[in-house]
């Protein structure tokens, strides 16, 4: 397996503040980045903001500010969200950066050199909300007979001089890509959607705009700025070092995984590989189109007034609580839903009552009995069964991400599997009752505590990619150094006699008292 791993989120439009859907994508991608780091890989993880285009220009105009001022302000909120949720990105890219402009122009020139760009006139439909061109045949009828995009957004008739990209030329190569490498787009349903779109025939794509100037200038073509998706998709190349072909670029391109939402699969699975084929740049290995996070089963929208600030949720319930909830509750690849009640129920059951209870009971008894890792003893059948079951669940948890299901990582399945081990460890602890065994057989009580504490250590390592802060605190309480927290350390048991700091609960019980969101 390759040692380097490149993973990205989509870059967000900073035309407004982040919502829980944006946080979900960042958290899921971060969980994968951390998982691969814990597996011993060199990970490059990129996120950021997509700052050009008509949508940004219009949002800025509506506020009476320059687009860059809006981008500066809102991009700051996206970065705060990422930092607030412990998103371990290596680079937060902004498409307004000079390096990015130059990289997008380099890609443009490479496509031009392949003879794939020509000047023409665009006459057709455009959705500003989607920043997308649509064929007439794709439109659907909305109320009062207005035309809507397939995403249900308004479209407007647009006529302007434009550069075109010969997308039609790539139809067969794209279909061959999907056939030879079906994991290129996951889940399978999304591959089927794009494959059928491509089979239906591809029109050449308008790739520049002349009616506004908020974008990357087209090289050698005054008055034209690049269509925002050409520039946006190039962010993945900019961040790896495409412009100068640095060593970093050699090590980290092609990307292993683009994590994106289901609404933008076409851009990543049709346009992006076609641009790269044209420019002679290797293709990313996989595009994963996750589902949408809904609030109480409803789409989040300003008009429904149900768009929560994700950092508010984090302040009310805790960063790890929200991370755990979203990763565990949303089947990766499908839509999922959140509500205060669902968060409190899931987090209390799995974190406070299950993992937290196990760790706290075990560590507080150890603290009362000398505060050092107790001596292990001869293993009983129950000890062996627990240790084996935990090992088996951790292996299955890793396989759910590494090998995946349906050809892509299943974060939710991974956590469900790991929590079976948490449940078994709790049952073991309750059944072995070291507090009562101590009265008659202190050596056996110590041996039980050793088994339980070492299982807590392994579980904390195993869950660290999902809930880094809490697991980090548990590993601190188990006296584990920073270099003993990766999967390679799973089978290095606790050192007997190691002094342990006094234990603190790391999974607070949540209540619904906080104002509802
Ligand atoms: N700027 C483009 C992406 C360019 S990538 C080269 C864009 N931005 S966005 O701000 O509208 O969306 C950013 C990401 O958030 C997308 O992957 C999108 O699918 C995702 N989500 C937006 N709403 C979402 C939910 N409600 N739930 C989960 N993800 C959602 O598209």
Q: How far is the CA of 18 from the centre of ligand 1 (A)?
A: 10
Ligand 1 within 6 A of 273 CB? no
517 pLDDT above the threshold of 50: no
Tokens representing 222 are 């005054």
Q: How far is the CA of 10 from the centre of ligand 1 (A)?
A: 6
**What mean pLDDT do residues 196-207 have?**
97
Q: 163-192 pLDDT, tens per residue?
A: 999 999 999 999 999 999 999 999 999 999
Atom of ligand 1 nearest to the CA of 9: 17
**What mean pLDDT do residues 245-266 have?**
97
Ligand 1 within 6 A of 256 CB? no
Q: 373-419 pLDDT, tens per residue?
A: 999 999 999 999 999 999 999 999 999 999 999 999 999 999 999 99
513 pLDDT above the threshold of 90: no
Query: Residue 513, exposed/middle/buried by CB under 10 A (0-12, 13-18, 19+)?
Result: exposed
Atom of ligand 1 nearest to the CA of 22: 15
* Nearby residues of 223 by Cβ (< 8 Å), 6 or more positions away: 210
Check if the beta carbon of residue 327 is closer than 8 Å to that of residue 415: yes
pLDDT given at position 514: 61
pLDDT given at position 144: 84
Q: Return the best residue to mutate from 16, 21, 51, 269 for the ligand 1 pocket (most ligand atoms within 8 A of CB).
A: 21
145 pLDDT above the threshold of 90: no
Q: How far is the CA of 50 from the centre of ligand 1 (A)?
A: 10
Ligand 1 within 6 A of 236 CB? no
pLDDT given at position 97: 98
What does pLDDT average to over the chain? 96
Q: 75-117 pLDDT, tens per residue?
A: 999 999 999 999 999 999 999 999 999 999 999 999 999 999 9
**What mean pLDDT do residues 460-482 have?**
98
- 478: phi then psi, degrees, rounded to nearest 5: -100, 10
Q: How far is the CA of 517 from the centre of ligand 1 (A)?
A: 21
Q: Return the best residue to mutate from 7, 25, 300 for the ligand 1 pocket (most ligand atoms within 8 A of CB).
A: 25
pLDDT given at position 504: 95
Ligand 1 within 6 A of 12 CB? yes
Atom of ligand 1 nearest to the CA of 12: 10
Q: 33-64 pLDDT, tens per residue?
A: 999 999 999 999 999 999 999 999 999 999 99
């Amino acid at each position: 397996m390759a040692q380097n791993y490149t993973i990205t989120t989509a870059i967000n439009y900073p035309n407004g503040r982040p919502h829980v859907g944006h946080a979900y994508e960042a958290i899921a991608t971060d969980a994968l980045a951390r998982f691969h780091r814990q597996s011993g890989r060199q990970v490059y993880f990129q996120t950021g903001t997509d700052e050009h285009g008509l949508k940004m220009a219009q949002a800025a105009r509506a506020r009476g500010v320059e687009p860059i001022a809006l981008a500066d302000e809102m991009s700051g909120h996206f970065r705060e969200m990422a930092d607030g949720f412990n998103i371990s990105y290596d680079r937060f890219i902004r498409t307004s950066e000079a390096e990015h402009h130059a990289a997008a122009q380099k890609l443009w020139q490479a496509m031009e050199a392949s003879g794939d760009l020509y000047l023409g006139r665009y006459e057709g439909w455009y959705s500003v909300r989607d920043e997308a061109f649509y064929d007439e045949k794709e439109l659907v009828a909305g109320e009062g007979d207005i035309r809507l995009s397939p995403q249900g957004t308004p479209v407007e008739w647009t006529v302007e001089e434009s550069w075109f990209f010969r997308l039609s030329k790539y139809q067969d190569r794209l279909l061959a890509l999907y056939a030879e490498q079906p994991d290129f787009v996951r889940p399978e349903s999304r591959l089927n959607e794009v494959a059928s779109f491509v089979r239906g025939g591809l029109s050449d794509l308008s790739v520049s705009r002349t009616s506004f100037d908020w974008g990357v200038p087209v090289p050698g073509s005054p008055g034209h700025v690049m269509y925002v998706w050409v520039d946006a998709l190039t962010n993945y190349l900019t961040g790896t070092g495409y412009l100068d072909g640095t060593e970093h670029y050699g090590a980290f391109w092609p990307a292993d995984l683009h994590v994106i939402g289901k609404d933008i699969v076409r851009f990543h699975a049709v346009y992006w590989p076609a641009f790269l084929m044209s420019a002679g740049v290797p293709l990313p290995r996989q595009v994963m189109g996750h589902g949408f996070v809904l609030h109480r089963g409803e789409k989040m929208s300003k008009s429904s007034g149900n768009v929560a600030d994700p950092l508010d949720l984090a302040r009310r319930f805790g960063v790890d609580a929200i991370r755990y909830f979203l990763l565990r509750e949303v089947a990766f690849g499908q839509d999922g839903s959140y509500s205060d009640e669902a968060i409190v129920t899931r987090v209390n059951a799995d974190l406070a009552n299950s993992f937290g209870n196990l760790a706290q009971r075990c560590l507080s008894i150890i603290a009362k009995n000398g505060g050092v890792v107790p001596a292990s003893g001869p293993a009983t059948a129950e000890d062996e069964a627990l240790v084996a079951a935990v090992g088996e669940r951790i292996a299955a948890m890793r396989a759910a991400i590494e090998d995946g299901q349906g050809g892509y990582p299943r974060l939710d399945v991974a956590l469900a599997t790991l929590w079976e081990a948490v449940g078994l460890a709790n049952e073991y602890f309750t059944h072995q009752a070291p507090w009562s065994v101590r009265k008659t057989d202190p050596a056996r009580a110590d041996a039980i505590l050793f088994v339980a504490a070492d299982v807590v250590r392994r579980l904390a390592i195993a869950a660290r990619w999902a809930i880094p802060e809490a697991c980090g605190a548990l590993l601190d309480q188990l006296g584990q150094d920073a270099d003993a927290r990766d999967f390679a350390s799973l089978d290095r048991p606790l050192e007997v006699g190691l002094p342990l700091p006094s234990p603190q609960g790391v999974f607070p019980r949540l209540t619904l008292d906080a104002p509802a969101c």
